[in-house]
Amino acid sequence: MEAGRTIIQDQTAIGGPALPWIDPSAFAELMLCWELRSLRLAREQAGTVFFDRGIPDVIGYLRLIKRPVPAHLERAARRFRYHRTVFIAPPWPEIFAPDAERRQTLAEAAATYDAMVATYGGLGYELVELPKAPVAERLRFVLDRLAEPGPLTPAPLTP
């Protein structure tokens, strides 16, 4: 489950302040904690694990809203690495729809996409854009890409 969406649901349910429209810095810290825990849990699993979001998303979010990125968040993004290949979904107006947790406009979603491209790219990840296609075709695209010969090894962890 996506960190941001779940945090918004939980904070709303308990009347908590760690919401992007109330306290964006607290929201970002909770997202960081969620992503670090997700990485730890993934390391306990056998086989391939896909992440919907990651630590770099928190950096991209803070940059997008023009907030400072704390040094510990930068360190986390450099220390806790994901696979070097990252699949990224471009804005898709035909299927875009805001909801209770996602209050973004399409223009904000496009700006978020740009921030994620810059952030992941700046951290040395290889970005592969997903096609605007039905889910089954997107899945086939990802599986075909992962089956290609080449350096699809995880990015190294640094101490």
- What pTM was estimated for this model as a whole? 0.83
For residue range 48-104, what is the model confidence (pLDDT) as tens digits?
888 989 999 999 999 999 999 999 999 999 999 998 899 998 888 677 766 667 767
Looking at residue 106, the DSSP 8-state letter turns out to be H
Amino acid type, 157: L
- Is residue 86 helix, strand or coil? strand
CA 159/CA 156 separation, integer angstroms: 10
Any idea how long the chain is? 159
CA 91 to chain CA centroid, nearest Å: 14
- 101-149, pLDDT tens digit by residue? 776 777 788 888 999 999 999 999 999 999 989 999 999 999 998 887 6
Amino acid at 159: P
Q: How confident is the model at residue 155 (pLDDT cuts 50, 70, 90)?
A: very low
